[in-house]
Amino acid sequence: MSVQIWRPSPFLLAHGLLIPASLIVMALLSRVSGWDEGLTALFFDPAIGDFPARQSVALEDWGHRWAKSAVLGVWLLLLLAAMAAPWISRLTPHRKLLWLTVLGMSLGPVVVAVLKDINAHPCPWDLKAYGGALDYTADWFVPRSQAGRCFPGGHAAGGFSVLALAFAAISLGWAVQARWLLVLAVLMGLAFSVIRIVQGAHFLSHNLWSAAIVWALAAWVMAPQMPRNSGVTLSRVWPASKLQP
């Protein structure tokens, strides 16, 4: 009797395991090494006892609210496309992929939002060291009234959720689009992270954890649609020859 050992595809190994694990290691290092506090301190002004960027109307409106709304708008368009697929001939063959992309883009941010409600990790701006009233705590499974609502970073999760679109492009064999969407997702996640760090809303490790969660969940959701031999090489991302079903 032979026993088959499950082996992840190159895609799942890279995007579902190795990259998220690397991000988690970076998050742990940021927390224990003091990088979190050192980076956050750069944007705190002791003279006013606050983060100057927190008072920026433009940064709050455009960098936080409108940016979040733009990502939500893309997700809603995907949802509408998935719902309309049975009646639109060009979309019908991709109905399953559309629904998986909708799920892949939303699952990570939803999990991050749930986690934020069950732990007491405070935002930097809530800590005494940065003009707040709280001491640092890392308690988990606290009542919602005691939740810090800061860990992991929600805004960063929204930016990184665009990864699901890159994975959908891989599934379709769109090599060039996949590369650009991957770059876009990473840049958006980084930009959203920086915005909230300079505002004092999150530590670096908060956003690295968000990236790991969103990246892993999007990859696992989209994995059933991936060509078995699609993956990542060190010299280039997803060569076109590896993107053919």
Distance CA 165, CA 172 (A): 11
Residue 1 belongs to a domain: no
Please tell me whether the peptide bond between 10 and the residue prior to it is cis, using omega within 30 degrees of 0.
no
**Which residues touch 242 (CB under 8 Å, ≥6 apart)?**
227, 229, 230, 231
Region 141-158 average pLDDT:
94
Residue 238 belongs to a domain: no
Domain that holds residue 109: 10-233
Q: How many domains does the chain have?
A: 1
pTM above 0.85, yes or no: yes
Q: What is the pLDDT of residues 99-117, one digit of tens each?
A: 999 999 999 999 999 999 9
Q: Nearest CA to 216 among 177, 161, 150? A: 161
Region 110-127 average pLDDT:
96
Whether 127 has a pLDDT exceeding 60, the answer reads yes
Distance CA 202, CA 152 (A): 8
Residue 75 belongs to a domain: yes
- What pLDDT band is residue 2 in, cutting at 50, 70 and 90? low
Residue 57 belongs to a domain: yes
Quote the pLDDT of residue 230: 53
Distance CA 51, CA 13 (A): 40
Backbone angles phi, psi at 50, to 5 degrees: -160, 175
Do 53 and 43 meet the contact criterion of CB atoms below 8 Å apart? Answer: yes
- What pLDDT band is residue 7 in, cutting at 50, 70 and 90? confident
